[in-house]
Chain A
């Protein structure tokens, strides 16, 4: 039994906006005060402190094949960004003895931290649930192996399906129910959490050295269009009643003049639930091939007009980044643009991907437009329940800069200072100086935990009502919001204090959320035949075995089933 007493609680899902309250925790859950036997209970005095649910990241590339390729091919990224073993130097706590300097693992990495360090850095920032944004089905087993080495965090994996041969054949043949059963089978086989769509059709076309530019372009060899892929997967998502919505990386990422195709996608999704990730990269005005301008006004207007749509921003952080995405043609283009080293990985019958290191510079006009566009989207999209804080880690910058983005959103003087530092050419005529909006703590709680937990369908996350997982972050209410959010006073995971005064004090394994929607078993013969003609691995060896999820937690689907 633990009480967090007298804190100023921000719990938007339950409508609590800074009220002073006590919070009681037992067996890892929030319990009703009436159920509490206060005698002998441990307490944390949260007087004058800010209490929020643990942070929930809706989109981050932090574990799996692509991320590990990033770690491997960027030794220069790790130099000087290291953490020694057992860096909590509390020798009096026997839990931390063992090994040279304690129990916590050492690690390295700035844009691509090692697994254990990733868990520590997120936890120290007050985040307790993080979703891996893209895992190729064929290597999902790798994602789960790394998950098991990322401590503390609860997590889940989005499974890339936007260029899947089986699905595209079903669409071509007008068999969307079969595609639905396949998706259900695939989510279960990969122990994934959500449908991820990356540049639908474009990654398949990249295997011919090409791409798609508009929703009605043709996918080579399949005679289907990105629009059909998108709408079919969206229908499947609803029919299966998956807890999350389809998670979409749209077309023409990062290209000047991509506003029309982004609007086209938003309109194609009219009346359907969907999430567009790192929207900033899809919000550039101007003409293709030329210097872009911010297209935030048009895009924010479209988002505001489509109430079933959610987005995350993918805010650019100036400095080093590692771009990594299943969007193979984009990565090749970035390689050609920057001349930086390039890693590509085409995955049989499913997807592709690539990596290129980049450096975002304030003096670079293109990068300045990217930064500006992200800021404007945050400020122009009206409903905080539909716009979330991400840096598309590590594509637009490392996740541990979220506190800086929070400061930019909460403090318009700081924002003006930051704006003054970017390319003068971009600053002139920009809308941003006119946007006075400052996010409140309540709104920050929405865009960093309540809203993300809600769109993920994680009913026990992102809030502090009775029955919620006792993942709690307690901040000192500092004037400097970056400092406030970077170094919480306490972080609790499942009711245990894992961070105290900004330092890790204990470690525990996190859960892996996955879905297991039912499918018609009759479809398995077709999938088996598909494996025999297309795959280099046998059907029987493909599904991720239960051994890979020692802390698996299945999340229910609302679909009708079969």
Chain B
């Protein structure tokens, strides 16, 4: 990021809204306020313009208190807990994520990220069959066939097509859009399917079957069916042929695969198809990670605990248990007796039984913005927003780490600072 002093315009600003981490924004600041955001999509612009950076005091049981007092109360709650849960982390920086995992280790807590309700099954598939992937610049420079499966970037990752995948001109794609074939696979027409050269409409719940059929066709087998999962065989044959004969193919996949029946099995089937295509040409896959630093949360939790999400430190060392130690499950089963929520809103997004548990147990929330979770929390820390008024690190959907730098003066404490302060005070197993 560079800053032009005269006009207070920051160039090459990174937007941390989604997993694209576009780093070409221009943000104008005047009088401590963001007055203009250029090149951002609607989602990204909101991140900068909807945030009010004015200092706010933390709250304990609805009462405004000093930061030290809130930290002490958070530490008291966590120290008194026998089964604390730390959750969220996808919209904060790796510096804070590192402190959060350290705190989990210290507390003997369970720690989980929003991956478990998003691309967690993608992680399970990667653990089962591997993952042939590449960085987004390779897509720009080489890809002549793009297959978007179960995702709708026109809404969720608005600049993906223009910046990384469909229209940019690259080394082997000098004509941009004209050098690429865009295939979209989904259960219904969407904003993304409208832009596609080919749209394969799959019957809901049939992705696994369709992927299996494609694997068979790519493998040279004949299918005795007129259609699979609502897709005519001729269309599948055509796609299989395109996949085998392209120069460099890339599949992008989203929650249409991870959060429908079959989940990780759907993703494993896609990853296996992609791996098998490498016997014919080069083919890779990139998961469309949602939140700005959810990929970083996977990385940090993995490098400190060995596992990407759903980790329990209750025995003093990390154990992995998606479905066992994932936040929805430990809340719905009533196991968690205190929760620390970082930059996430599970009260709004979790299934009812899990959300209700959050209203029964003490909750500590760190969030730059008010949310339903901060509404129910006993302790609320209105922290700084990484990439707007705090510096930190985020990982793009393809694993590329980028420095987020503030465009506004840092006034509020960061998640990293608050988590570090809590960590220094906790005395697990003791009532303070």
Contact = CB atoms under 8 A, between A and B. Distances in A.
A115 B303 CA distance: 6
Contact of A107 (B102, B126, B141, B317): B317
A98 B106 CA distance: 8
A146 B303 contact: yes
A440 to B, nearest CB: 39
Interface string B43-58: 0000000000000000
Contact of B248 (A65, A82, A109, A207): A207
A149 B306 CA distance: 13
A275 to B, nearest CB: 27
A84 interface: yes
A541 B402 contact: yes
Given A145-B94, A536-B140, A540-B1, A345 B399 contact: yes
Given A145-B401, A346-B135, A540-B2, A72 B127 contact: yes
A85 B317 CA distance: 6
A541 B302 CA distance: 25
A343 B171 contact: no
Interface centre among B2, B137, B278 (most CB of A within 10 A): B137
Nearest to A67: B303
B282 interface: yes
A142 interface: yes
Contact of B281 (A83, A109, A209): A209
B315 A343 contact: no
B282 A536 contact: no
Nearest to A541: B23
A500 interface: no
A149 B304 contact: yes
A492 to B, nearest CB: 26
B317 A347 contact: no
Contacts of B428: 99-100
A207 B171 contact: no
Interface in A17-65: 63, 65
Interface in A52-92: 63, 65, 68-69, 71-75, 78, 82-86
Contact of B24 (A106, A206, A538): A538
Nearest to A356: B130
Given A207-B142, A341-B130, A541-B23, A72 B304 contact: no
A357 to B, nearest CB: 9
Contacts of A84: 315-317
B11 A345 contact: no
Contacts of B393: 141, 145
A463 to B, nearest CB: 32
Contact of B400 (A74, A106, A537): A537
B317 A82 contact: yes
Contacts of A100: 106-108, 316, 428-429
Contact of A85 (B106, B170, B308): B106
Contacts of A536: 135-137, 139-140, 163-164, 400
B91 interface: no
Given A207-B282, A209-B282, A73 B23 contact: no
Nearest to A539: B12
Contacts of B303: 63, 68, 71, 114-115, 146, 149
B138 interface: yes
Interface in A110-156: 112, 114-116, 138-139, 141-142, 145-146, 149
Interface in B8-50: 11-12, 14, 23-24
B1 A343 contact: no
B266 interface: no
A139 B396 CA distance: 11
A541 B1 contact: yes
Contact of B302 (A72, A207, A332): A72
Interface in A156-192: 165
A142 B293 CA distance: 13
B198 to A, nearest CB: 24
Given A107-B318, A347-B138, A73 B131 contact: yes
Nearest to A138: B400
Contacts of A86: 316
A165 B141 CA distance: 12
A349 interface: yes
Contacts of B139: 536
A108 B108 CA distance: 15
Given A145-B393, A209-B281, A545-B403, A75 B320 contact: yes
Contacts of A105: 102, 105, 304
Nearest to B124: A75
A72 B305 CA distance: 10
B282 A208 contact: yes
Contacts of A335: 130, 275
B299 interface: yes
B138 A101 contact: no
Contacts of A535: 137
Contacts of A400: none
Given A78-B307, A82-B318, A99-B428, A346 B138 contact: yes
Contact of B135 (A71, A115, A165, A347): A347
A484 B271 CA distance: 46
A5 to B, nearest CB: 38
Contacts of B308: 72
Interface centre among B1, B94, B298, B303 (most CB of A within 10 A): B303
Nearest to B171: A534
B128 interface: yes
B284 interface: yes
A426 B399 CA distance: 43
Contacts of B14: 541
A299 to B, nearest CB: 32
A113 to B, nearest CB: 8
A83 to B, nearest CB: 6
Contacts of A101: 316
Given A335-B275, A345-B399, A538-B23, A106 B317 contact: yes
B119 to A, nearest CB: 12
Given A141-B393, A145-B94, A85 B141 contact: no
A344 interface: yes
Interface of A: 63, 65, 68-69, 71-75, 78, 82-86, 98-101, 105-109, 112, 114-116, 138-139, 141-142, 145-146, 149, 165, 206-209, 221, 332, 335, 341-349, 355-356, 533-538, 540-541, 545, 547
10 contacts: A73-B126, A78-B320, A85-B108, A106-B316, A108-B318, A114-B304, A142-B401, A149-B304, A342-B132, A344-B134
Which 8 residue pairs across A and B have the least CB separation, nearest first? A348-B137, A99-B106, A341-B130, A84-B316, A346-B134, A536-B137, A344-B132, A108-B306
Given A115-B303, A142-B399, A540-B1, 10 more contacts: A72-B126, A73-B126, A74-B127, A75-B307, A100-B106, A112-B306, A114-B318, A207-B142, A346-B134, A534-B137
